[in-house]
Structure 1
């Protein structure tokens, strides 16, 4: 039963992934995807957190603690899930497909870029609810960029989004925000 479920999910993922790769403007989406994906690289999160701490009055030590805790917990969960599931990336799972960038690790599930983007977006939405749509669109764009760059299947990014937002909400509750 479980094997059949995973086979069905993988079949859906391959179809959705193929649909993305067959878009007329895929080359343009891939170019934009490189830039969007880069906005979700790790060092930028630390810089943004420090800037928020220095410049935003409401961003006190509790916010910084919650964010640091969330990133540590998210990375531990991410690494454990990735090592247990060992799902091949599209380039390794599909015949005659080559990704447009070199991924930082071997396995696809879950998407770490997407997870961190949704984790950070969840914090930003809590701090700046008036522009929530902007943060959610950015995080979703990061997930889509990872698909259009050919390094993740759609469910990798969906699970990454859920994981990042969930851990952020947990961390905010844990420190009493």
Structure 2
């Protein structure tokens, strides 16, 4: 079963990455991915904290969720130690050199889904924009050749569950 899922994941990666490469989406993917690097989250959180009546609630929820998500992400990534597609000799060039060697779960996607879920908890009307943006960040990581689709799903689950769990106590 694990072999089947791994092969399905590899094929999904090759399909997405191949189509995106043929259509020249790497540059757009780099821009989308960069919105998940971290500073944007800080600017958004501080901006809402200073200028919105629900900003304090959002800031606390996001901060506590990241406090849970980040250690879990590091534990999973360094325990599973899955080789990134760009380092797995699949016969393609990587559009970006990742900051570490391992791919599962996707940290960019986990962080994006922390933000999307926190935004949705505090600002429900932003659901489609928040999750659409987070999904594009995840997709961009596959297009750039640094993650498999299952890495993205794992990151999305980790980010979402972190916020939901924190919010249940909050």
Judge same fold: TM > 0.5, yes or no: yes
Name whichever of 91-100 and 79-88 sits farther off.
91-100
Check the 8 A contact 2:17/2:144 in 1, yes or no.
no
Task: Name 2:37's counterpart in structure 1.
Answer: 41
Structure 2 unaligned blocks of 5 or more: none
**TM-score (norm. length: structure 1):** 0.90
Please tell me whether residue 142 in structure 1 is matched to residue 140 in structure 2.
no
Residues 4-83 of structure 1 mapped to structure 2, 5 A cutoff:
5-23=1-19, 26-60=22-56, 62-83=57-78
Check the 8 A contact 1:81/1:109 in 2, yes or no.
yes
Superposed CA RMSD in Å reads: 1.5
Q: CA deviation at 1:170?
A: 1.2
Name whichever of 144-153 and 5-14 sits farther off.
5-14
Q: CA deviation at 1:132?
A: 1.2
CA distance in 1: counterparts of 2:5 and 2:20, whole angstroms: 25
Name whichever of 64-73 and 147-156 sits farther off.
64-73
Check the 8 A contact 1:40/1:116 in 2, yes or no.
yes
- The aligned length equals 170
Please tell me whether residue 108 in structure 1 is matched to residue 97 in structure 2.
no
Name whichever of 138-147 and 28-37 sits farther off.
28-37
**TM-score (norm. length: structure 2):** 0.93
